[in-house]
Structure 1
Amino acid sequence: MPDDLFAELVGLLPVGVFALDDDGRVVLWNAAAERLTGRPSNDTVGRHVLGNGASGPAEPEPAAAVFGSSTVAGILEDLRAGRPFSRRLPATADRPWPLYVRVVPGPRDTVLGVLQDVGDKDAADEAFGLLDALWETAPVGLAYFDAELRYRRVNGAVFDMDGGSPDERLGRTLEEVHGAVGAAIAEDLRAVLSDGRSRTDVLVQGRLWHGRGPFQEWRTHYHPVRGPDGAVVGAGVVLVEVTGAEQTRKALAQAAAQREHALNRYQSLVEATSAAVWIREADGRAVRDAPGLRAITGQSAEEHRGWGFLDAVHPVHRAEFAASWRAAATADPAAVFVRSYRLRTAEGGYRWFRTRAVPVHSGGRVVEWVGTETDIDVNMRARERLAVLAEATHAMNAALDPEGELVALAESVVPQFADLCRVFLLDPDPLSRVWSSPAASGSPGERRLTGRRSVTRRAPGIPTMPGSHERFVFSGDHPVARSARGTAPLLIHVPDTTASAWQPPPDQAGWAAETGAHSMLVAPVLSGGAVVAALLLIACADRAPYTEDDLALVRELATRASVAVENAVAFQQSREVSLALQNAMLTEPPCFPGVEIEARYRPAAAQLHVGGDWYDAFALPSGDLAVGVGDVEGHDLPAAATMGQLRSMLRGLAHDSEAAPSVVLGKLDRVLSGLDVTRFTTLVYGRLTPTEGGAVFRWSNAGHPAPILVGPDGEPQLLTGRVDVVLGVEPAAPRHDREARIPPGSTLLLYTDGLFERRRDHGDTAGAALLELVRQAVPLPLPAFCDRLVQAGIADTGDDIVVLALRVAAEPG
């Protein structure tokens, strides 16, 4: 084709065309290139743009001004590598519209290029912006790979699904980033690059990041990406994570199989346990028949319907059970309902059952209840027996005398275990307690059991039993007489069908018919090998009849009552000894001229009425008044005995000597230690000497709380001073005396630490509280003053308390 014709055709093309020679100069710049770039041909052709021309650096190269230096560099790089160059050029100030440029090697070492307007600037920018926004905000993962399957672009959804960052992906292959799973995806992408066909809905699963990531599943879609010439230049990937969905699908399939299995199993369960399974409406009513439950209660279908099933519940439990069942049926959210209660059986009695109901949901609401009834009577009766045994044992241990223990036993078993309990106390005289002779009984061959007293406890609603008076006489065939004679418990059902059947008197038979008495337990109580009492327990009306298991319980109750009675007898004996010891040692204070004396004693072991604390006041031959308050370690009979020895020794040593209190205490300490009487005793001992202006008190303190002196003004003060070591620790240690004047109208108080001591007393608040108590009480007469101190209860140790108060008479007028 002639060159001029070719030049004319090129000039008519609607796209810009340019050419560069092998020296890098522009040899072709058609009219469209002039229009698109704003650079005239005569100012462009012949100019150098590839860096090896003669143009000076101060004059910008025309092509560089059009394309930009980075674009020129890109053209050079791709052409030298033998690759065509394609790029979209953004608008500039001189050229306010974008261009598309494509450069390829031409014939005879030339370079041919095409410039094309990509459209209106605003429309193009908006289109590209929308495409970029769609790419980044797509709810699915989007990725683009070049022909070598290297990451070129990835949207944010991929990072959300799989983690990582752009730097960890871009420019790298799938195998480099993800290992085995990446290789599997790359294999599918190579097939797309090879044949140019899409692959859709490909399931991929595994762990990314060379196995370090969590297990995931993806639905992937692979598509070829083509260049302007239609050639496949890369591949695009659309991926959706379906890990949860796949697991849900599998779980639903598994749940469907399990549900079918559960339905089959439930049907088998209902068939196997139809006597205890029922179905009720969402509000708790019984609409469907429950043959299994009705077989237990004996109700008809009509009696059971609606709320009729509640009529079979024991009256004691009915109101509470009905209220809790209605509340559970209407609760939101509904929960499993479990209750234990007594249920009337078809045989007429009551047994313990446990009901368990489970709500059945559909569409987010309860549509019905499925429940079971389980017979737990044996277990509940066993628990009831254990509870009765524990309560009876506790009640008997709390009593302090044999009769009180047996009364406590009766009160603990009614109404929990019996409707009526009688305790018969037999005659205490051994000759009267044996069986009376035929002559004494009035009937030949009949031997009777007599007793001096009986105690009766009845459940609410049970009328008084005839013959429930204190004195009793039983015929030889009476169950109580038979049990006492054989020293063994008996179980008797009414009517008694045994060989030695006993028929009650008419009035007691009428009482049994009125109350519905049907069974009774009798057991003897022994002490020292002899029967001292008998227990009679009666079950009436709808209470379950007594069984052999209940007979074992009453046998154990009688055994424990026997032990309690023997302990109480021993306690009474100890108490009598204690009272005698107390009367011997804690005598009334003497009468002393001009001085009023009051003493109070309260032991920690209140049952024994004696302990280790003590007081004493006695006149000396010199005319002085000797006073002492001591505390022997312990709260029992040995402590009381030691206290008695110490008190007697102190009296003897003080009465035989006119020595100072410190000398008397020194002698007492050496005697106690030498005879090994005690190892730890505190004591205040002193002498009160009358004077014309009141009295003088001289004392010595062996580790005891300091005395308190309240002057005529009513203000108390501690008589402090040197406190020596306690008795029984260091007999050779020196002891000291203190002396204080006691004005007329003053009160001197000696006491033990049980009056004020507290377990936790930070800052000596107990001592301050004691002084305040004395200040408030001292205006009272001396007996009331002492009573007030003992009854105030500012201490919390439960220790013995001793108070010895001396009030010097006020001056006349």
Structure 2
Amino acid sequence: MERPDEVLAGVVDRLPVGVFALDEDEAVVLWNSHAEHLTGWPPDRVLGTRLTEASMDGPALARIADELRAGRPFTGRVPARGSGPTLYFRAVPVTVPGLSVVGVLQDVVDTRAGDEAFALLDALWESAPVGLAYFDTALRYRRVNGAVLDIDGGTVDQRLGRTLEEVHGAVGATIADGLRAVLADGAARPAVPIRGRLWHGDGPPQEWRMSMYPVHAPDGEMIGCGVVIVDVTVAEKTRRELARVAAQREHALNRYQSLIEATSAAVWVREVDGSARRDAPGLRAITGQSIAAMRGWGFLDAVHPQHRDAWRASWEQAVAAETAEVFSQVYRLRTADGGYRWFRTRAVPVRTEGRVAQWVGTETDIDDGVRARDRLDLLAGATLAMNSATEPEGELGALADALVPDFADVCRVYLVDPSRTGGGVTGRRSVSRTAPGLPESPMGDARFVFAATHPIARCVRGGAPVLADVPRVDTRDWQPTPEMAQWGIGVDAHSVLVAPVLSGGVVVAALLFVGVGDRPRYTEDDLGLVGELGTRASTAVERATAFQQSRQVAVALQSAMLTDPPTAPGLEIETRYLPAAAGLAVGGDWFDAFPLPGGDLAVGVGDVAGHDLPAAATMGQLRSMLRALADADHPPSTAVAALDRVATRLAVTRFTTLVHGHVVQRAGEAVFRWSNAGHPPPVVVSAAGEPAFLTGDVGIVLGVAPDTVRRDSEIVLPPGSTLLLYTDGLVERRRDPDGRANADLLELVRAHAHRPLGEFCDHLVRDTAADTDDDIVVLAVRVA
């Protein structure tokens, strides 16, 4: 069997171009048979001599030799002596041991042979038994042959565009240092020994001989570096993947083309610049466009005007990106019937030899899914809007605000009279919303009368949603006013939906939704949505009605229980109350101040868990009981203990905090004596404005252990001092990791202690940093 080097020598000798090679002394060491044919000189006459001594043009060859000595390749024409042909001459310097130049000779008229020669030279590059790599001036991989992959693994794609350091780690840095030296002085570095592990430092231990040389353009500019790599550690092996990858890409392209020709689905092919040249029958079936109308950029005419500019900008950005992988866009597309539906475009580039050759895409109708998702979003938004209002009509107005313009171009709410005759309905127009950009729909008289055949009358009578088309001509069913008819024609109103709103099982209102212009017509699928909207509006209306009733009761409780403080000699008293629940006038917190027999003043604040009507009722009971139990002849702890026992026995409360005390005049001094049942400690402010928490005994809350022993604490209130009682709504925060809430309360008290007592209380309530939305109660007593 012939050795590989013998096979390679035989191939070179039979090439249809002259091939020669020079050694380091510029003597000819290779001269194949076609070189003999072109020049007339046999190998035994040329081998061992300088090429400039041959029978070709001596001065021209001398100039070529100078270029090659300088490390620059040469390509050009050289006339042969005598009557021989003009030869095409191409030579490059090399750093292969024993060689300095490799070149070809070719008859200038034999262009086919030249192409074949260069193809064969490329084949030699790929099949060479040594590793060959080319780097640009930034030392990024630009080309490698298969032997490099055999030496240290990986793929071409994992190298191209990356630096040696990125691919090979520390060993790559060593190789890069040698190449930088080549770029610096233009001198080749033959047979540089390298030892280590390639491929990110994870490969096996290896040794190489690397010859590094500069690469020049025809004008002499240095454009990169070449490396010849010889693995001196393991035996050579060959692995070629480029042909397989190219075949796979060609197969993929053919498969896409076959798909386009065989399918009737909405699949299309676009050119590299993004324009359309090929027919797309599936897409045309959707849009109704002709082939001529779709070509070029005409396919964009079917995109909804609101989405067209964004669609084109995204598409042009995708086709301009060299690394584009997938283009995806969701938008509305005009269909053949003139309406619009939601579609999703997905497109991928088809590459040939690493370049995008065309784009293949599909159009998927996602209208049902988009509209279903939008319906859920609208339902959630409308529910949230209604829940934020506390008036029945306010909730219906919030509903209209949430649905225009996302679901309807016009929304109206009609409040229906309870009495109906002959199938018709009467009532009052309550709410009207029109989408921005549309002229306001005329309201006319606030009262309305609809005949029995009108959609609103049908909805009210049947208690179910109704779908109807807007007639193009006046009919007895609608009987619109001339202004309303003119408005409907002007905006191209096309369909309506009506939903009932019930309270106590009776229809009390009707919701009307109008679609105009290019909004998709309402369908049977929309009836379910408006029916659910009507149901939720019904619940909201009933809840708002109950809320209003609760608020009226709460107002009565406030008037009865949160009375103005009394007057007391030598004392100034101020109170403030801020409920937590919006709209309610009272909650579970309370304050109280009332005179005791003998002239003492009873004061207290309490906090019943909750801020609803039951909490307010419990608060009223406890407040009344405490008034009955308070006694000037007994300390405050006696009344608190008695209140705990009675309230627990009667199951009035299971968790209530309370501070109850007496302000008494003793030997010309004001003294505060109090009992604390699990409540935040009172604050005393000196006449100089310095606040401090009172540090008396704190017992357990009411309703837990009614037989517990209650104790009293006592402090003298100097003239000019202020006593502050409050509930935890004044100080509590959701997040207080550093325990700053109490310190901040003292800072707030200190900042306003100099103010008149009423302003002092106002600032405490207004400027508090508490954020738990709890009731706030403040009771302040200032000693004259």
Q: Please give the range of the TM-score, normalised by the shorter of the 2 chains.
A: 0.5 to 0.7
Q: TM-score, normalised by structure 1?
A: 0.65
| 2:462 corresponds to which of 486, 499, 503 | 486
Unaligned 5+ segments in structure 2 are 1-97, 99-127, 132-146, 153-203, 205-231
Quick one: which of 602, 618, 627 aligns to 1:642?
Answer: 618
**Aligned with residue 540 of structure 1, among 510, 516, 531:** 516
Correspondence for 1:416 among 400, 406, 412: 406
Deviating more after overlay: 708-717 vs 668-677? 668-677
TM-score (norm 2): 0.67
Letter in 2 for 1:347: D
Displacement of 1:805: 0.7
Give the drift of 1:637. Answer: 2.6
> 1:222-266 deviations in whole A, cap 9, x for unaligned?
xxxxxxxxxxxxxxx9984537x16x38xx55x677667645643
Q: Distance in 1 between matches of 2:356 and 2:259?
A: 22
Q: Which of residues 419, 422, 428 in structure 2 aligns to 1:434?
A: 419
C-alpha contact 2:253 2:350 (8 A) present in aligned 1: no
The answer to which of 326-335 and 256-265 deviates more is 256-265
Partner amino acid for 1:551? L
1:339 equivalenced with 2:329 (yes/no): yes
Secondary structure at the residue paired with 2:630?
helix
CA distance in 2, matches of 1:368, 1:411: 47
1:504 to 1:763, Cα distance in 2 relative to 1, 3 A: closer
**1:549-597 Cα shifts (integer Å, max 9, x gaps):** 0122212211221122122222222222222223222112122233221
Separation (CA, whole Å) in 1 of partners of 2:487 and 2:728:
60
Q: Is 1:345–1:351's contact at 8 Å kept on the other side of the alignment?
A: yes
Question: Offset at 1:506?
Answer: 2.8
In the alignment, residue 474 of structure 1 is paired with which amino acid?
Answer: F
Instruction: Tell me which of 739, 743, 748 is aligned to 2:714.
Output: 739
CA–CA distance in structure 1, aligned partners of residues 473 and 483 of structure 2: 20
Change (3 A) 1:764 1:295: closer
Q: 2:487 aligns with which of 507, 511, 516?
A: 511
- Paired residues for 1:93-172 under 5 Å: none
Deviations 1:300-341 (A, max 9, x none): 444333333222211121222222222222123213111111
Query: What letter corresponds to residue 341 of structure 2 in structure 1?
Result: R
Q: Which residue of 1 aligns with 2:119?
A: none
Question: What amino acid does structure 2 have at the position aligned with 1:471?
Answer: R
The match for 2:775 is 800
Question: Structure 1 pair 557/679, CA: closer, same or farther in 2 (3 Å)?
Answer: closer
Partner of 2:569: 593
Work out whether 1:310 is the aligned partner of 2:300: yes
Contact 1:626/1:688 (8 A) holds in 2: yes
| Equivalent residue for 2:380, pick from 390, 408, 411 | 390
**CA deviation after TM superposition for structure 1 residue 416, in Å:** 0.9
Query: 1:469 Cα deviation (Å)?
Result: 5.1
Residue identity in the other structure for 2:261: E
1:754–1:799 CA contact under 8 A, matched in 2: yes
Superposition map of 1:214-253 within 5 A: 240-242=235-237, 245=239, 248=241, 252-253=243-244
Q: Work out whether residues 140 and 240 of structure 1, in 8 Å CA contact, stay in contact via their aligned partners in 2.
A: no
Structure 1's unaligned 5+ residue stretches are 1-129, 131-137, 142-156, 163-213, 215-236, 428-432, 437-445
Select which of 664, 677, 684 maps to 2:659: 684
| CA distance in structure 1 between the partners assigned to 2:248 and 2:540 by the alignment | 61
Q: Secondary structure at the match of 1:518?
A: strand
- Paired with 2:657 and 2:355, the residues of 1 have a C-alpha distance of 77
- Indicate the residue corresponding to 1:12 in structure 2: none
Letter of the structure 2 residue corresponding to residue 314 of structure 1 = H
* Residue in 1 that maps onto 2:451: 475
Residues 412 and 312 of structure 1, relative CA distance in 2, 3 Å threshold: same
Equivalent residue in structure 1 for 2:369, among 364, 379, 399: 379
Aligned partner letter, 2:727: T
CA distance in 2, matches of 1:509, 1:499: 11
- Cα separation, 2, equivalents of 1:631 and 1:409: 36
The counterpart of 1:581, out of the listed 557, 562, 578, is 557
Give the Cα separation in 1 of the matches to 2:550 and 2:292: 69
Alignment: residue pair count = 566
Distance 2:684 2:574 in 1: 15
Is the CA contact 1:624–1:687 (under 8 Å) kept in the aligned structure 2?
Answer: yes
Aligned to 2:596: 620
For residues 722 and 502 of structure 1, the distance between their equivalents in structure 2, rounded to whole angstroms, comes to 77
| 2-structure distance, mates of 1:732, 1:482 | 67
Structure 2 CA distance for partners of 1:381 and 1:757, relative to 1, 3 Å: closer
Post-superposition CA distance 1:787-810 (Å, at most 9, x none): 21112232233322211011222x
Matched-pair contact (CA < 8 Å) for 2:474–2:480: no
Contact 1:496–1:502 (CA<8 Å) still a contact in 2? no
Residues 249, 351 of structure 2: 8 Å contact kept: no
Name the SS of the counterpart of 1:450 in structure 2: strand
Relative distance call for 1:680 and 1:494 in structure 2 (3 A) is closer
Shift of 1:459: 1.0
Cα drift, residue 509 of structure 1: 1.9
- 1:671 aligns with 646
Measured in 1, the distance between the counterparts of 2:740 and 2:429 equals 53
CA offsets 1:616-655 (integer angstroms, 9 cap, x no match) = 0001111111101112223333322222111111100115
Q: Tell me the CA shift for residue 607 of structure 1.
A: 4.1
> Is 2:682 the counterpart of 1:697?
no
- Does the 8 Å CA contact 1:313/1:343 hold for their aligned counterparts? yes
Rounded Cα–Cα distance in structure 1 between residues aligned with 2:625 and 2:443: 60
Distance 2:371 2:699 in 1: 65
Q: Using a 3 Å threshold, how does the CA distance of structure 1 residues 272 and 535 change in structure 2: closer, same or farther? A: farther
Match of 1:14 in 2: none
Give the 3 Å change call, closer, same or farther, for CA 301–694 of structure 1 in structure 2: farther
Residue by residue, what CA displacement relative to the aligned partner does 1:483-527 show, whole Å, maximum 9, x if unpaired?
Answer: 212222211112289998434333222111100111111121111
Question: Paired residue for 2:346?
Answer: 356
Identity, in percent, stands at 65
Distance 1:671 1:647, change over 3 A: same
Among 497, 514, 539, the residue aligned to 1:563: 539
**Separation in 2, partners of 1:700, 1:258:** 89
Contact conserved, 1:454 with 1:468, CA < 8 A, in 2?
A: no
Take 1:571 and 1:611, find their aligned partners in 2: how far apart are those partners? Answer: 14
Contact 2:410 2:433 in 1 (8 A): yes
Aligned partner of 1:114 in structure 2 is none
Which whole-Å CA distance do the structure 2 matches of 1:265 and 1:331 have between them? 24
CA 238–731 in structure 1, closer or farther in 2 if over 3 Å, else same = closer
- Highest CA radius of gyration, 1 or 2? 1
Question: C-alpha root-mean-square deviation of aligned residues, in Å?
Answer: 3.2
Q: Is the 8 A contact 2:423 2:457 kept in 1?
A: no
